[in-house]
Structure 1
């Protein structure tokens, strides 16, 4: 049943491997909860799901974890109902807990400029690091999206990158000349030195010639930012790109499309960092400022 559920998540819902792993872990946890009480999958109902979630909260699960469990169990009960295991799908009746969203860490424009202005050494690893950081900031893509890029996804003439995001949704984002130059350096002088029989069409490669994995890409970013004296993480570059776009006058809808957010609610968190822009406008425009 779990194997079919996994295929349903990845094949039909287009969930990422990371999400599939999380949902399967939640399904196994719910299975164990049912078995401990003498129930099976066909007995799943709202009280049993709520008792499972309550148990997680008692063990100290965060709001974010409980919210993820709600999402995973909704997918599971929908699948079980479709398979005929459940006569009625209780998932839609399950309320998701409200989450207290923390504000993102954002580099100011001076920090971003300092991190990106440092010329890399000409080793393949340094060229890759520089290209990775430039592209993350230029496009706002997630690290996993960056690692999944192929050579053909970069359109040098149109200055765009084709990105496959969450839910297998494709988007095309613009990319600036500095990032394209860093990519050129990597592709011409760095990638050939790392390429091997398993490289295929991957844009970024690891030390063994295969596609660059997410963990190594994160290490690249940390190393590059530390060398520039900036304390930041890969996702901070995505947050910074969105914030700097808003500060520069971009509208929220455009930033939503740029980031690949399904809902504008996910993008609205970046509006808080535009307070300085609002203050400047207020000082210039309000007669009583």
Structure 2
């Protein structure tokens, strides 16, 4: 996929038209500085994308190029995918650029005129039912070092709603058993303090007392709670494999992903009346919009229950 960032130098022919369009907006339209700055960033990214394709003239651009550029923005751009709102704003800037070039006679057609933002499937997160979660949590045994570690890991994931990376990032001092809280290091270095339930604390205690000391003797006094066989911090891949293996044993392999227990945590809270903004804080979402996707899951569940249980649901 071509580079969609701004590291690529924009071809002179395209750069000149972008500059002309921004000048037009500033002088003839009186566009605000903030809008101009936003359009400038969007159009430089667009220009870099085209240049990476070997296109150095707006005349060579087709509607397919514009569409594929917008789709690329939903992929990985400098480490993070652009939000749908940012893609929509970028399309406005790109349309304006092509309309300006066409009206000024710089090109013979306007390839962006009929382009629409790419349709995106809104995938609902998969959540296990409570019975399935309990079966999964009970799957690891409690007689061996590995089993005790996996049992504690799964309990922590479901009890706190932590991402796998956050769970394996826990140090011993991050758990306050007296206050029943856990300090998680989330995305962007943001920390959040979340509650942890008694079953998870019990599983952690069993692991810390009966299993972790044996693992710790293999390494160099790592502060990590979850250790691997060499005494170092458990990797994300190993933690995911533990979840996957136990899901297979519980007969849930087709329903489990790395975030399944996190999704189940959020869905079960909302189904039982938790406020969406509280769940947002627990999950560490920057925007409540991200959390609200779980409300769609609960509405779908309610709809299914209603359809099968209400005597006049089908009339």
Give me the TM-score of the superposition, normalised by structure 2: 0.65
Match status 1:188 vs 2:163: no
Match status 1:267 vs 2:263: no
Deviates more, 1:229-238 or 1:196-205: 196-205
Residue 164 of structure 2 aligns with which residue?
143
Q: CA deviation at 1:220?
A: 1.0
Residue 213 of structure 1 aligns with which residue?
235
CA–CA distance in structure 1, aligned partners of residues 174 and 230 of structure 2: 22
**1:159-170 equivalent positions in 2, closer than 5 A:** 159-170=180-191
Residue 106 of structure 2 aligns with which residue?
none
Question: Higher relative contact order by CA 8 Å / sep ≥ 6: 1 or 2?
Answer: 1
Q: SS in structure 1 opposite 2:143?
A: coil
Q: CA deviation at 1:228?
A: 1.1
Tell me, which stretches of 5 or more residues in structure 2 are unaligned? 20-39, 54-63, 83-88, 93-116
Residue 66 of structure 1 aligns with which residue?
74
CA–CA distance in structure 2, aligned partners of residues 216 and 241 of structure 1: 21
Quick one: structure 1 residues 53 and 239, their matched pair in 2 at CA, closer, same or farther if it must change by over 3 Å?
farther
Quick one: structure 1 residues 162 and 47, their matched pair in 2 at CA, closer, same or farther if it must change by over 3 Å?
closer
Q: SS in structure 1 opposite 2:245?
A: helix
Number of aligned residue pairs: give it.
Answer: 242
CA–CA distance in structure 2, aligned partners of residues 175 and 61 of structure 1: 44
Q: CA deviation at 1:288?
A: 7.6
Residue 275 of structure 2 aligns with which residue?
251
8 A Cα contact 1:53 1:66, kept in partner: no
8 A Cα contact 1:136 1:234, kept in partner: no
Quick one: structure 1 residues 279 and 228, their matched pair in 2 at CA, closer, same or farther if it must change by over 3 Å?
closer
CA–CA distance in structure 2, aligned partners of residues 260 and 73 of structure 1: 18
Instruction: List per-residue Cα deviations over 1:199-250 (Å, max 9, x = no partner).
Output: 4211111111111111111111111111111121220110011001111111
CA–CA distance in structure 2, aligned partners of residues 132 and 205 of structure 1: 11
Residue 59 of structure 2 aligns with which residue?
none
Residue 226 of structure 1 aligns with which residue?
248
CA–CA distance in structure 2, aligned partners of residues 255 and 182 of structure 1: 24
Q: SS in structure 2 opposite 1:34?
A: coil
**1:89-104 equivalent positions in 2, closer than 5 A:** 94=90, 99-104=120-125
Residue 45 of structure 2 aligns with which residue?
49
8 A Cα contact 2:175 2:182, kept in partner: yes
Structure with bigger gyration radius? 2
Match status 1:127 vs 2:125: no
Q: SS in structure 1 opposite 2:237?
A: helix
Q: Aligned-residue CA RMSD in angstroms?
A: 3.7
Q: SS in structure 2 opposite 1:234?
A: coil
CA–CA distance in structure 2, aligned partners of residues 279 and 228 of structure 1: 25
Residue 173 of structure 1 aligns with which residue?
194
Bigger share in helix: 1
CA–CA distance in structure 2, aligned partners of residues 179 and 234 of structure 1: 18
8 A Cα contact 1:114 1:228, kept in partner: yes
